[in-house]
């Protein structure tokens, strides 16, 4: 946490919020998940024997994945398009990316978002979606291919 490993509620909450926003983006879900994670970490702080900051972030990350799992079919298109389109915006392709992503099925959009926007590994995506890791790998491959086809047609 801090050099002296002191536990400060505000610092714990900031660490948790940073991680939940990294996974979920800004919004109420990230705020709620951070609050839950900070409370969990605060209550169990006596059990932390390693690096407290990493421990708090891990708790927050897991809490964010729980939220992702609960809302996996409810990802709003605007929230998912914005991060993916950011790089394309620099090259003038943002509109094409938005159109291509909107054309994908919700399940494809979710997997791509978790993997590339949420920066989750395939095992983490599997955990968040309650799918077997092999299934995630195959579906991500197919989703990327459908996205490639949609972008080449644009």
10-39, pLDDT tens digit by residue? 899 999 999 888 888 888 888 999 999 999
The tokens for 18 are 């940073």
What pLDDT band is residue 89 in, cutting at 50, 70 and 90?
A: very low
pTM above 0.85, yes or no: no
CA-based nearest residue to 20, from 62, 53, 54:
62
List the CATH code of the domain at 77-153. Answer: 1.10.10.10
The tokens for 88 are 């394309």
Element at 124 (helix H, strand E): helix 122-129
CA-based nearest residue to 111, from 154, 152, 59, 146:
146
Give the pLDDT confidence score for residue 71 in this predicted structure: 59
Residues 6+ apart with CB under 8 A from 103: 150
Angle at 23 between CA 2 and CA 113, to 5 degrees: 155
Give the pLDDT confidence score for residue 137 in this predicted structure: 93
Helix (H, G, I), strand (E, B) or coil at 78: helix
How many other β-carbons are positioned within 10 Å of the β-carbon of residue 114? 28
**52 vs 98, residue with greater confidence:** 52
What pLDDT, in 10s, does the model give residues 120-147?
Answer: 788 888 888 888 999 999 999 999 888 8
Alpha-carbon 110 to chain mean position: 10
């Amino acid at each position: 946490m801090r050099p002296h490993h002191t536990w400060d509620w505000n610092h714990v909450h900031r660490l948790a919020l940073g991680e939940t926003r990294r996974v979920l983006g800004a919004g109420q879900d990230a705020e709620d998940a951070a609050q839950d994670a900070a409370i969990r970490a605060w209550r169990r702080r006596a059990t932390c024997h390693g690096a407290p900051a990493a421990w708090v972030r891990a708790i927050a990350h897991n809490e964010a994945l729980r939220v992702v799992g609960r809302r996996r079919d409810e990802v709003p298109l605007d929230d998912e398009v914005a991060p993916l389109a950011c790089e394309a915006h620099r090259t003038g392709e943002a509109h094409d990316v938005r159109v291509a992503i909107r054309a994908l099925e919700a399940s494809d959009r979710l997997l791509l978002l978790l993997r590339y926007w949420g920066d989750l590994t395939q095992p983490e995506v599997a955990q968040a979606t309650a799918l077997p890791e092999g299934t995630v790998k195959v579906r991500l491959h197919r989703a990327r291919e459908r996205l490639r086809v949609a972008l080449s047609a644009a």
